[in-house]
Each structure stands twice: as structure tokens, then as C-alpha cells.
Amino acid sequence: MTKLFYKLSLLSLLTYGADAASLESGSLRKSRHDQNRDLSEEEVLPGYTIEATRDLVTDLPGLAFEPDFKQFSGYIPVSPTRFIHYWYIESANNPSTDPLVWWSNGGPGCSGLLGLGTEMGPFIFEADGSLTPNPHTWNKVANILYVEQPAGVGFSYFSDPSDAAVGDERAAVDNYELLKQFFKRFPERLSNELYIASESYGGHYIPHLAKEILDRNGDMNFRGFLVGNPYVDPFSNDVTMIQTYYMHGLIAWPLYKKWEKHCTDPNDYPEDKCGIIINAMFQESGDGINPYALDFPVCTEIDNDDYPPSTKKSSQFVVNQENNLHEGQTTSISRRKLIGNSPQSSKLLQHTSVLNPPYLPSEDKYHPCAESHLNHYLNRDDVKKALHVKLDRKWNMCTDDIDYSEEDSATPQMDLYQELLHRAQSDGSNLKMLVFSGDDDSVCSTAATQYWIYDIGVSPKEDALWVPWKFENQTAGYVTDFDMGTSSGSSFVFATVHGAGHEVPAYRPAEALALFKSFLSGEWDTN
């Protein structure tokens, strides 16, 4: 396991192991702002706890339609000093039997409300502040628990400054505690199938949380995970980013061949020469390319310099990971050197794709500025009141308020995925595991994902390698089903989504919903 770079306060050490009920009482209960208001028996929702009723969202500003589902928002304490904001969207189909899906975005340090507001949530956040229905929302078939984690992200917060230091292990512990407390607040969901889902740095979050759930061996009905365009292996990400740019016609052949000759051996990497080559590559490609979705336009509604620095964090993702590599470790594309020596390439990642502008369906159009709309909406006081969050908390899509472990961020995760696959094969846990990939992403590319998947020792089932899967009679991507053994009820599947960027549901929302349904059912349209 990786080493954690944080220290709990003495109070945390003394009280963290306290019974879950104590986390909902006393000073913690009072810290939940207007959510501690008294309710009469008549006011409590039938079938729900008092705590859940307090979190019910009843008057969401700008809502332009009558939802056919309930939604709840509030804080869940995961320690005496850390409070995670959640926004729980019930299934519009059958909340009592449909699965529960925990969702977080990546970063590390980016809000799970990006998923709700720009990907698979029930609302499209329009420029005028209105909320219109998303026809491809995942809550058509599932209950979705959107979380802002670790504490310090979005509306989530901590009261002890030492809590700013966090890593993969503590994030997993906190998210497990969040799930425990969620099921106390919503005990009627404890029997529902539980899945965890994420993307990007979710390539770290997901396996760590899955292991935490399995290790605790509690009463959660944990059934598996899905993770999109995951950040798992820095080396394969680096190499395939340049390859993906070249294959998309964004780099000239002479420069590509020069890079291929001099800059692909991690044991023989001439920094100065490769810095010049890579700088020239990105000068050629220009600053109008979105590296997270190479074939999509970028947001031009506003000047990206107007964004607060924290919102640029997602676009700095690859840069940060290179900066975080262990001392002395090199990679074929030294993006740490690239940013240090190349204003043009720095501009590429920081300016052209502020937070990887996504697209949402609205009258069959896509909107690269959806995140700007979401940012303006969530910082309104009337919205904060409706969501039962702190009024003095400024919402940012990604945060600089946490100090995430550099060692954890740079550590490849293949061993952990191997461990999960081995456990799923041997312990009868019957887990569903899906890794999916939008093939228009260069940052966590489809090629990089294949690289690490085949590096963990899996083999496809017979006649199950790279099979086209269909949506509306068109090829939506390719699916590979891996052999988990005849005695195992578990599954491990890799699926691509053709034409989708880094955040698959944002760029191909209809296909993403079809993929999600296929994951739940285990049935793919391959005819």
C-alpha cells in the first residue's frame, strides 16, 4: 500500500473509531447548518428517516419541469473534522429495486457535481440559469449518489487544517465511512445493489474504495465498479498521448519520427533534445485543440483567464502527474520538462481546455461551455440554500484547497487491479467490473488503457475480443470480455465508445447511457 502524507489530529485519533451514531450527534449534528431544524412527525417523509427528510431538495431554483424523482442534498460527516457534501438523485424508475451508484469525478480534487451537471445527471444547466431535462440521464435506471470528495472539494469542507493533506488510502477510508453514514440516513437502500463509478483519477479512487469495501466485509450489497478513461499508469499515458495526437493528424510525420527515435526509451531520455522536439510538436498543433477530446471544439463564450486558478486543475492533470513522479523516475514524454521549457505547450493544456469543456445534449446540440453555466449556478445563494450547504462556501469545479499526496498520484495502480481481479475470481464475490474508454481522448487514451489492462495478465474469452457493440444500428465502440474462470461469477469487461472524449457521458451521452445499461444487465448489443 502507498504511504499516506497526512496526520490526523489528536481529536481525530481519539474519536474516529467512534460508533457511527456518534458522528450524527452532538456538535457534529449542529455543524450541519439548517439541516438540524426540528421536524414534526407529520413532516417526516413516509419511509424515510428524519435526517433524510431534512436533506430533501424541494425548491431547486430555475427548474423548468416537474421531476418524477426525489433528490436530497446535504453533508455527511466522515470524521469529527471532515464533512462530505452529497447530492443524491433517486431513480425515476423504481428506487426501491434499482441499483445505487456512488459517483465521483477525478482530479484529484474535482467535484462529483461535474458528473451531475455536465455528464449523466438529470439536468442540463442552461446559460440563463434554468434547468431542463437531460434525456440521457442515468437515473432513468439507477439511484445516483454524487459526492464531492475528498473533504475540501466543492461544497465539502474540513475544520482541521491538517485534513488538507490527503492521499488514496485516506480517500478510500473516508468514502467508505460516507457510504456507511449514507445507509444510516437512507437504510431503505442498504439492500440495493451497490456500484461505484468514476473517471480519470477515478483510476485510483475506484480500486482503493473497492478494496476498502471488500476488506471491511460489511453488510453493503457491493456488486462491482465501472471507471472511464482511467488514470492508472503514467508511462503508458505519456507515450500514447503523443501517438494519439499523431494518429489524429495533429503532428507532422518528420517530428513524430524524430520523437519516436529519441524519446520513447525511459532509460535513455535526452531531456534537452526531447524538450525541443515536444515543444515543436505542440507549436505545430496550436492552442485550439482540446487534448481531452481532440475532435471537439473548445469553449469560446468567455475568456478562459476569467476562471479562478482552481478551475484549471483538470487541464493540469497530466502535467501534475509528471511533476509527481518519484525522484529519479523518467518517462518517455517528460511533460514536467515540457511545461518548464515550453510556454506554448503550457498554453495548450492550461488555456485551450479549461477543465476539459464538455458537451451536453440540448435540442440535439452540444455545449462546450456547460461547466461555466454550472459554476455560475452553484455559486448563487438561493441555490446553496436549496441544497442545504454552507452559504460562505465558494464552489469551484476543482480545488487547490487540498494537498494530495504526490507519491500516490504518481504510483501505477496495476497491482491493485490485479488484486481485485484475483479476489473476484477466487472468493465468490461475483463482481461486475467495467473499464470504458472514449477513443477521442489523448490524456488517458484508449491505447494507454489497453496497455495497462493487458499488462495485468488477463486474456479475452474465445470470440470475445474487440467485438463491435451497437447503438441504434451503428457501431458505438468495441467490447472485450475477459476470462475470469469457469467457477467465477464475476466479469471484467473493457469497452470503447467511439467518438467520445475523456468524459464519455458528456461527449456521447446517448451511447454512454446505453453502455451503462449494458454494464448493469451484462448484455451488449453485438448483432
List, by residue number, the catalytic residues: 200, 441, 502
If DSSP codes are grouped into helix, strand and coil, which group holds residue 480? strand
Side chain identity, residue 103: W
Q: Which position has the grid cell 496497455?
A: 451
In this structure, which amino acid lies at residue 239? V
Roughly how many angstroms between the first and final C-alpha of the chain, as a whole number? 43
- Helix (H) / strand (E) containing 415: helix 414-426
> At 124, phi and psi to the nearest 5?
-105, 120
Q: Would you say 155 and 148 are in contact if contact means Cβ atoms under 8 Å apart?
A: yes
Closest CA to 147 of 208, 86, 189, 200: 86
How do beta strands 432-438 and 194-199 pair?
Answer: unpaired
476, 257 Cβ separation under 8 angstroms: no
Q: How far is CA 252 from the centre of its chain?
A: 33
- What is the number of helices (H) and of strands (E) in the chain? 20, 15
CA-closest candidate to residue 278, choices 230, 200, 349, 326: 349
Whole-angstrom Cα distance, residue 435 to residue 457?
Answer: 15
Helix crossing, 414-426 with 446-455: angle to 10°?
60
> What are the distances in angstroms from CA 223 to CA 33, 42, 191, 214, 418?
34, 36, 11, 10, 17
Taking the C-alpha atoms of residue 91 and residue 380, their distance in angstroms, rounded to an integer, is 26
